[in-house]
Structure 1
């Protein structure tokens, strides 16, 4: 069975195209129905995230051109435009690609864990729509097994590699149980949005988002059940928060030393953890000199990030080795299954020939033919029928120069061993 993967990701396509090729949940049923009908594939799965859209197909034929046209049509895109950013992987390379995706080796952030869950969701969705069979099911299960092996046997996912993730990870040095802490996020751009996700994943449940426009602050805060305020309200809430992470485009500091000093007195010097990701800085540098304030800038985080990237790169090399082993295991499984299927057909054919010759022998016995004659005829007829087709194919292969067929025959029937054991002419006499 042929395996095919077609897709686009953050490396091959800009966000303007990625967002147009994304599959919405509302159209998934329609997509599965149309995709299988258009491609002729017996099995299919669709992975659609903000950074990638990929189609996994299993069938008897390579249907890449057909699927490309269908994908472009489904999303009302020009085929030529989509073809420029599309990648295609087949068979063993398609297996390797899926495993690399699951392990986070193909992600924008090397080793990020979210893609593993997204791929599991894609598999579950395909099963719900009856689009997968034994082949893709076996591939997904092997992929998940290898990805877990990568996670447990390498350090690919242990260290943060983004400013947002590093900021939240460093907060753990100050607050062991972050579910008890309240966070103030200053700004509402993409970086702060990512920070909010990491904080939520770390256990923070109480959010306050301050922004120049209240609407944007409220929209982000509501994603985590928090509250939005404008920048001028920060001093009124400062004493109530423990974690402050800021990233705005303000040319001047938003949070000054005086406001922080007053907040510290109100909170009886319970520590503040602050990260100023902005350039220019949002928090006055003098704030870092205050006792019970742990203030970090983007420069403080850079070294941590670079060290962790190097650490992940080493782990990535280990992960690639594990994936190579995983690919080989899967291919070995397929070959073993194919051997079982082939042997089953081979046995069925032999049993059919046996039944035909046996029935012929029984008829002869019922007609009074000498049993010894019948037995010899049975043996001769069965031998001829079993050997006829292989003999024809061997002669054909030899005429075409495919000598490996005779080598395979000698191995299957151990002909070399038989020749070695056969007595010489003198010994026969």
Structure 2
């Protein structure tokens, strides 16, 4: 019984690949059921964010090869597209990896807290799809506890850094004063909410929230003020925006080059700062070619983020120690399950043997045979059958002259016990 993890992230794959293998939240339940059935996995869960796509699963030795083939076919990729950027972890290495991801130790921004919420979403998706079993369910629960302990016992979350915060830092290099800027947020999820909070702290109070459903957008404006609109109203509101932050789950771009060309005309080419935090991308790459538009994707934020990593390196070392210890603790639980399974299998085998011989003896007695003779025969058969495999093993053991194994065999069979006491 072991867990494996395969995936790609911001370190191994560019955004062009990551956006192709991202799973749409609206279809992920069906995808989970499909992959479990078609790849023949015992358990499976998928974590899909703008910076990574990972599959956690339990299956046979060749399961990960079948899984790669399934992902390639499902996302309509070239056969070698994933091979160049895919990583595979198994056993203890996979367990540590899952915990490191949840603690933000493998994130673009070291220690960022959003990944834990995304990991919890992955857990809930798998639960709802019915693709979790005892092992992955326990691993997720243990991982959440480890992430909480890391947050409590280290300083890894002491400063508010994230991809959203990195976007704010970058905007201050474009605009020296943010207080008179108007920000347009496309989407109303956690990433946009975090960006809005960071920009508000920097003095940006004029905001517009564009979302597919007006209700979600209004929920965000109730927190930060401003105006909520639908996506269809973007052409009217885009020219008002100095700062645009977009993070939706749309499978296709929302903002095109034509819209931005018209917006720049209405703004008389006043500069615009745009950040696309979505994977797949919300803003067409061609927008970045326009004069007076500064467009950045999540990959472009890496230099800003690297500065924050240095400040968290000490806390990360402490967190790594916690993860290593807790991974060992989880493996002990897995080993205990395997021991329980072994005992269960042995008991079932012995009970089946007992029932078989008992039924045979009862039929003999019912046919008129001597009860005493039948009991003697049953005892003889039971003894021989129970001793058969251990006796063969002991013969091979003594020929090898391994005294340590002989001693263990004596302990197992109770031959060291003094029955006279």
Q: TM-score category by the smaller chain?
A: 0.5 to 0.7
Q: Which residue does 2:17 correspond to in 1?
A: 17
Alpha-carbon distance, 1:50 to partner? 0.6
Alpha-carbon distance, 1:161 to partner? 4.4
Of 215, 223, 227, which residue of structure 1 is paired with 2:238?
215
Question: For the residues of structure 2 that align with 1:322 and 1:123, how far apart are their CA atoms?
Answer: 22
Alpha-carbon distance, 1:369 to partner? 4.1
Question: For the residues of structure 1 that align with 2:8 and 2:338, how far apart are their CA atoms?
Answer: 32
Question: For the residues of structure 1 that align with 2:400 and 2:63, how far apart are their CA atoms?
Answer: 31
Question: For the residues of structure 2 that align with 1:66 and 1:160, how far apart are their CA atoms?
Answer: 41
Deviations 1:58-88 (A, max 9, x none): 1233312211121112222112121010001
Following superposition of structure 1 onto structure 2, how do residues 71-86 of structure 1 map, counting pairs within 5 Å?
71-86=71-86
TM-score under structure 1 length normalisation: 0.65
Question: For the residues of structure 2 that align with 1:167 and 1:80, how far apart are their CA atoms?
Answer: 33
Q: Which residue does 2:334 correspond to in 1?
A: 334
Q: Which residue does 2:196 correspond to in 1?
A: 200
Task: Flag the 1:214–1:365 CA change in 2: closer, same or farther, 3 A.
Answer: closer
Q: Which residue does 1:110 correspond to in 2?
A: 110
Aligned length: 336
Higher Cα radius of gyration: 1
Task: Flag the 1:33–1:203 CA change in 2: closer, same or farther, 3 A.
Answer: same
Question: For the residues of structure 2 that align with 1:422 and 1:31, how far apart are their CA atoms?
Answer: 64
Q: Which residue does 1:386 correspond to in 2?
A: 386
Q: Which moved more, 1:30-39 or 1:318-327?
A: 30-39
Structure 1 residue runs without a partner (length 5+)? 170-181, 235-245, 250-301, 424-429
Q: Partner of 1:148: helix, strand, or coil?
A: helix
Task: Flag the 1:387–1:153 CA change in 2: closer, same or farther, 3 A.
Answer: same
Alpha-carbon distance, 1:350 to partner? 2.1
Q: Which residue does 1:241 correspond to in 2?
A: none
Q: Which has the higher contact order (CA 8 A, sep 6+)?
A: 2
Does the 8 Å contact 1:105/1:111 carry over to 2?
yes
Alpha-carbon distance, 1:25 to partner? 2.5
Does the 8 Å contact 1:4/1:62 carry over to 2?
no
Alpha-carbon distance, 1:7 to partner? 0.4
Q: Which residue does 1:263 correspond to in 2?
A: none
Task: Flag the 1:359–1:23 CA change in 2: closer, same or farther, 3 A.
Answer: closer
Q: Which moved more, 1:36-45 or 1:3-12?
A: 36-45
Question: For the residues of structure 1 that align with 2:371 and 2:163, how far apart are their CA atoms?
Answer: 93
Question: For the residues of structure 2 that align with 1:315 and 1:159, how far apart are their CA atoms?
Answer: 12
Q: Which residue does 2:156 correspond to in 1?
A: 156
Task: Flag the 1:208–1:195 CA change in 2: closer, same or farther, 3 A.
Answer: farther
Q: Partner of 1:316: helix, strand, or coil?
A: helix
Does the 8 Å contact 2:32/2:129 carry over to 1?
yes
Q: Partner of 1:7: helix, strand, or coil?
A: strand
Question: For the residues of structure 1 that align with 2:192 and 2:179, how far apart are their CA atoms?
Answer: 9
Does the 8 Å contact 2:109/2:309 carry over to 1?
no
Q: Partner of 1:107: helix, strand, or coil?
A: coil
1:61 matched to 2:61? The reply is yes
User: How big is the alpha-carbon RMSD for the aligned residues of Structure 1 and Structure 2?
Assistant: 4.4
Deviations 1:8-38 (A, max 9, x none): 0000001111111111234324422432233
Deviations 1:251-308 (A, max 9, x none): xxxxxxxxxxxxxxxxxxxxxxxxxxxxxxxxxxxxxxxxxxxxxxxxxxx9xx96x6
Q: Partner of 2:47: helix, strand, or coil?
A: strand
